[in-house]
Copies of this chain bind each other. A is one copy, B any other.
Amino acid sequence: MELVAGKVDLYEGTDHVGPPPPGVLRWIDLCSQDAPQLELLRERFDFHPLAIEDCAHHDQRPKLEEYQDHLFLVTQGFACSKDRVETLELHELHGFLGEKFLVTVHLGNIGSLDEVWRRLSRDPRVFERGLDFVYYLIADGIVDDNFPILDTIADELETLEDSILSRPQRKDLARIFELKHHLVAMRKVLSPQRDVLGMLAKRGDARISDRTALYLRDVYDHLVRINESIEANRDLLGNALEAYLSTVGQRTNEIMKALTLMSAVFLPLAFVVGFFGQNFEDLPLLHDWTKSDGLMYVMLTICVATPLTMIYWFKRKGWL
C-alpha cells in the first residue's frame, strides 16, 4: 500500500496524479480550486465535468452523487475557534471516493482533515481498513467539530434567558437574532448532510464496506443528534424572544402604572390649589372663607385625603 503525498500542489508532470496502479491505494488531497489543477484531475481520473465544476465553486450543498466508478461526495460542517460562536466558519470538502482512490478537494485548512493526515502518517495500518474508512475518519472529524458549537450556543442561550427574565436589555435582542442566524445557517447545511450520511450508511454501495458502514451509521447518528439540538435550540430561542417581548411589555405596563398613579395623585391636587389661587376677592362665598381657618383646613384635608383615596382605590383594582 502506498500513501501518496497528496498535500503538495499538483502539476502536469507528477506521476501520482491519476488512478494508482493495481494493488495500490491512493489518497490525493488538493487544497486549491485552481482551474489547471482541477483540469488535471479531470483528465487523469476521467471525472465528470459537472463534478469538477462543483469543485471549482464552493458553497455547494452536502450531496452524494454516484458515477460509474466512484462516488462524488460534498461534505460540510462548521468549526469555530476558542468556543466563540462569532468565529463560526463553514468547512467544505469535496471528495471522490473510488475503490482504489480518494481525492479530496478543499479551500483553506480543515483541522480534522489535518488530524487524519497526521494519524495516517503515524499509523499507516489505518490504510488497511480501506479508503472508505479514511473518508469516515474525515467526515467524523468534520461532524464532531459541530458539537462544541452547539454546546456554546446552548450555554449562551441559558445566560440570555436569565438576563432577559431578570432585566432585558437591547443587546439581548441583537444577540438572539445573531444566534438564530447561526442556527439557520447550521440547519441549512447539516440537515442535508445528515441525509447524505444516512444514505451512505444504508445503501450497500460497493465502495463502502459493511464494516465501515457501521462507522458511518455512527456519524449519521451524531448528525441526527446535532439536528435535534438545532431544532430544540431554535425552539428555545423562539421562547427567549417571546420572553423578551413580554418582559418589555410588562415593563411598559409597570411604568404606565407609575405614571397613572402619579397623575392620579397630583392632577386633583393641582386643581385644588389652583382653585384657591383664583382672584375672586370679595365674593360672599370665598370672602368669608379665605379669611377663616375653616376653608384652609378643608383645602389641607383635600390635599391629604385625595392621594390616600386614590392609592386605596388603585390597590383595590390591583394596579399597585
Binds B, one of A7-15, A107-115, A215-223: A215-223
With A252-B256, A270-B270, A273-B271 as given contacts, are A244 and B246 in contact (CB-CB < 8 Å)?
Answer: yes
Query: Per-position contact with B for A257-270: 1 when CB-CB < 8 Å, else 0?
Result: 11110111111111
Asked whether A309 is an interface residue with its Cβ less than 8 Å from the other chain, the reply is no
Closest chain-B Cβ to A272's Cβ sits at a distance in Å of: 8
A221 to B167, CA, bound (A): 44
Chain B's closest residue to A171 (CB) is B165
Say yes or no: A278 contacts B299, CB within 8 Å: yes
Closest chain-B Cβ to A286's Cβ sits at a distance in Å of: 7
A244 to B243, CA, bound (A): 11
A contacts with B: majority SS? helix
Say yes or no: A170 contacts B273, CB within 8 Å: no
The tally of residues in A whose CB lies under 8 Å from a CB in B reads 85
With A50-B218, A241-B242, A274-B273 as given contacts, are A224 and B279 in contact (CB-CB < 8 Å)?
Answer: no
A296 to B281, CA, bound (A): 10
Query: Per-position contact with B for A267-295: 1 when CB-CB < 8 Å, else 0?
Result: 11111011111111111111000111101
Say yes or no: A264 contacts B273, CB within 8 Å: no
A161 to B174, CA, bound (A): 10
